[in-house]
């Protein structure tokens, strides 16, 4: 007994789709469109709505057809893992001048000439040529995140470290940091 009303409710939206769209113009000259008949005795027009056919194009080309058959796909080199030896994860550096020693363990492969790009708190801080140990100067006190990339001369990333969080403690609060050039 309950099945008959539920079936009728399920078919109701399908019957509404066959009615179309109503179009009418109000006394101010504004056109209106609705799926419901306008109230009152306003003159209206019923626009039949039919679903559009699926769009197909015989001219679509799969990207694999754009690569010549005799060419090898170019593989981009994956950056090698790089280990930050200093500062260590979670360590506290105590230096009133804001000096932080950075040391990197290179990957176990031979490296061409490289630039080491150092990121401090997500921004490029230093760019050093062919050195794996150096000292950052005038780092503000507080928590910092450090990461390093080794770059070829053309800018390709050879190796990349995971970010390390360290804390810098400067005992003298009244000491102003030195100005950077």
Residues 47-58 have pLDDT tens digits of 776 666 655 555
Between 11 and 114, where is the model more confident? 114
Instruction: Name the pLDDT band for 166 (thresholds 50, 70, 90).
Output: very high
Beta strands in 5-131 (DSSP E): 21-25, 31-34, 45-47, 80-86, 92-94, 100-105, 115-120, 123-129
Instruction: Name the pLDDT band for 121 (thresholds 50, 70, 90).
Output: very high
Place of tokens 């630039």: 115
Q: 3-class DSSP state for residue 165? A: strand
Q: What's phi and psi for 125, nearest 5 deg?
A: -105, -45
pLDDT at 147: 92
Task: Answer yes or no: is pLDDT of 60 > 80.
Answer: no
* Token pair in block for residue 8: 């009728």
Task: Answer yes or no: is pLDDT of 1 > 50.
Answer: no
Of 11, 15, 17, whose CA–CA distance to 35 is shortest?
17
Task: Answer yes or no: is pLDDT of 70 > 90.
Answer: no
pLDDT at 109: 73
Of 117, 119, 173, whose CA–CA distance to 142 is shortest?
173
pLDDT at 53: 63
Between 31 and 133, where is the model more confident? 133
The model carries a pTM of 0.51
* Token pair in block for residue 139: 């780092």
């Amino acid at each position: 007994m309950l099945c008959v009303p539920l079936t009728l409710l399920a078919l109701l939206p399908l019957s509404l789709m066959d009615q179309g769209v109503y179009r009418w113009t109000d006394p101010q000259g504004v056109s209106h469109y609705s799926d419901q008949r306008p109230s009152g005795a306003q003159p209206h027009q019923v626009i039949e709505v039919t679903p559009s056919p699926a769009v197909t194009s015989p001219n679509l080309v799969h990207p694999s057809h754009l690569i010549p058959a005799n060419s090898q796909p170019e593989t981009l080199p994956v950056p090698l893992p790089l280990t930050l030896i200093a500062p260590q994860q979670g360590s506290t550096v105590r230096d009133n001048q804001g000096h932080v020693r950075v040391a990197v363990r290179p990957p176990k492969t031979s490296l061409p000439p490289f630039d080491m790009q150092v990121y401090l708190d997500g921004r490029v801080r230093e760019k050093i040529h062919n050195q794996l140990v150096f000292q950052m100067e005038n780092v503000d006190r507080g928590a910092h995140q450090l990461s390093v990339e080794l770059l070829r001369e053309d800018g390709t990333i050879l190796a990349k470290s995971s970010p390390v969080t360290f804390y810098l403690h400067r005992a003298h609060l009244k000491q102003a940091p030195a100005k950077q050039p």
